Amino acid sequence: MKVCKRILTLLLALLMLTAVLCGCKDGKSAPVEPTPGVSATEPVRGGELTVGIAQDLDDSLDPHKMTAAGTREILFNVFEGLVKPDENGNLIPAVASSYTIAETGDAFTFTLRDGVRFHNGSEVTVGDIVYSISRVAGLDTGTPLIAAFSAVKSVEATDDRTVVVKTQTPYLEFLSYLTCAVIPENSDPADGLIGTGPFSFSERKAQESIVIERFDDYWGQPAYLDKVTFKIIENANTLVMSLKSGAIDLCAHLTTAQAAELGSDFNIAEGSMNLVQAMYLNNAYGPLQDVRVRQALCCAVDREAILGLINDGRGSILGSSMYPAFGKYYADLSTYYTKDIDRAKQLLSDAGYAGGFDLEITAPMNYQIHVDTAQVIAEQLKAIGVNCTINTVEWSTWLEKVYQNRDYQATVVGFDTSAAMTAQSLLARFESTSGKNVCNFSSAQYDERYAAAIASTDEAGQVAAYQDCQQILAENAAAVYVQDPCDLVAMRSNIGGYRFYPIYVMDLSCVSYMK
């Protein structure tokens, strides 16, 4: 198998696999209870887990249309693409058994793996693959469901085991986007979620729970757990209470303060969230239209203090829209802005806001780390006369008001790489014409360098262009970049097998009770 060198191998890892014991029912095997004083090391097959999550899934659950990271992290267990990421950030064959990339960088040839079955029992065919990629690329409708798929020129089955995907121009990073879900030919996810992953989708109760069950005919290593129930608990304090009471047994994305509340019945695992947390600014709003105002905000924020107050110093300070796991693509701009109140005040004065101004910071209430960060930033900005009001909203409100309608002034949240492990995926949202450009950022220079990176077939040139993009974002203070937070995951002491991934997913296939 010929693997393109430009496919990024990420070094850090993220997210944990979650779950919680519900007991023995419906013929499922009961989990093993921990033995006092004995270290559990052997995985047990069977049992049910309940996992606490902070948000409901997207309404449609369509794997080709999902936007929320919280939806992707769960459906990772249900759907697979031609390739998929492993815990080290490598792209490995999944529904495909192998692939090659043409020397010209504009043709990707996949060989279908034998014996892959959908959750409805039917065997995957090349027709299913052609349909899935054509659907995402909008080859029939003219409107791609995922922006990167606008690059697709054609998808063709050359025989009953081979599919060739061609792009309009050389696009070596496109392989990472072929992690998109393979679904049955002519199917509509609105009529039922049918994938090829280690778990099948069982049921969903809106604003309450999502249930997945082990798929026994999975082509790879079967999952250990019989069933996983994701329990939606949007109140951050209630999540911890649910852990302590036994209502849930595993929960990710805790703050150090939350983790400290748990006792010896829990193990706390630490990783990186692998996302860019920032106070994102609406560059089209009033005072924030002036780059000097945005720069003043950057100068007034003490990122080291935020890390110390929120996560006991854990995490990585960021200065632009990329985190260290991206290795050569990452431009370390963590010190581009340091706390300088005098400079901040001068910038505000030069922009005509010597007396400061009022600023509303919107934060999703179900993510305590974003709420806490917003509170610290609001306190720090008082030093330059910026009077902040924090507006905490439900996740659904945040998606509609901030993400979709861009009806906000500033917001504290984190953005990840979506499904593709590429530097492009973290930078694409700042392109002027991007539908995901929540900041309303506009820079002809940025657009030019971003386009150069995408079109490049030279590794050094591509790296340089991506780093230029990061520099432009920092210089123009598109956002007040803060950190790649640490990720604290609490799980009961008799649960093991979780893995950190370099993207925002929960792979529950290796999670089990231990004896």
Note the Cα 36 to chain centre separation in Å: 37
* Structure confidence by residue, pLDDT tens digits, 395-410: 889 999 999 999 999 9
Q: Apex CA 480: angle with CA 477 and CA 481, to 5°?
A: 105
Cα gap 291→183, rounded to integer Å = 45
Q: Coil, helix or strand for 437?
A: coil
Cβ partners under 8 Å of residue 355, min gap 6: 385
Cβ-in-10-Å burial (0-12, 13-18, 19+) of 245 comes to: exposed
For the cut 50, the answer to whether the pLDDT of residue 204 exceeds it is yes
pLDDT, tens digit (0-9, with 9 covering 90-100), for 98-138 = 999 998 889 999 999 999 999 999 999 999 999 999 999 99
Residue in the block written with tokens 């934060």 = 363
Q: What is the pTM of this model?
A: 0.76
Confidence grade of residue 14 (pLDDT, cut at 50, 70, 90) = very low
Task: Output phi, psi for 478, to 5 deg.
Answer: -55, -30
Question: Which residue has better confidence, 505 or 429?
Answer: 429
DSSP string for 474-515: HHTTSEEEEEE-EEEEEEETTEE-----SSS----TT-EEE-
Tell me what pLDDT residue 500 has.
Answer: 82
C-alpha 480/C-alpha 295 separation (Å) is: 8
Q: Is pLDDT of 279 > 80?
A: yes
Is the per-residue pLDDT at 165 higher than 60? yes
Q: What phi and psi values does residue 202 have, to the nearest 5 degrees?
A: -105, -60
- 């595993």: which residue's tokens? 250
pLDDT greater than 70 at residue 22: no
Q: Taking Cα atoms as reference points, which of 129, 116, 147 lies closest to residue 183?
A: 129
CB half-sphere exposure, 471, CA atoms < 13 A: 10
Structural contact between residues 307 and 317, judged by C-beta atoms closer than 8 angstroms: yes
Query: Are 371 and 392 spatial neighbours (Cβ–Cβ below 8 Å)?
Result: yes
Out of 16-30, 67-81, 164-178, pick the least confident.
16-30
Q: 């509609």: which residue's tokens?
A: 400
Confidence of residue 467 (pLDDT cuts 50, 70, 90): very high
Distance of alpha carbon 52 from alpha carbon 236, whole angstroms: 10
Look-up of token digits 């983790």: 259
Specify the pLDDT at position 273: 84
Whether 96 contacts 112, CB under 8 Å = yes
For 226-273, write each residue's pLDDT tens digit: 999 999 998 888 988 999 999 999 998 888 888 889 988 898 888 888
* Cβ 381 vs Cβ 359: under 8 Å: yes
The residue ranges of DSSP E strands in 342-428, in sequence order, are: 357-364, 386-393, 410-415
Residue 430, helix vs strand vs coil: helix
Phi then psi dihedrals of residue 368, to 5 deg: -60, -35
Distance, CA of 451 to CA of 434 (rounded, Å): 12
Residue 40's pLDDT is 57
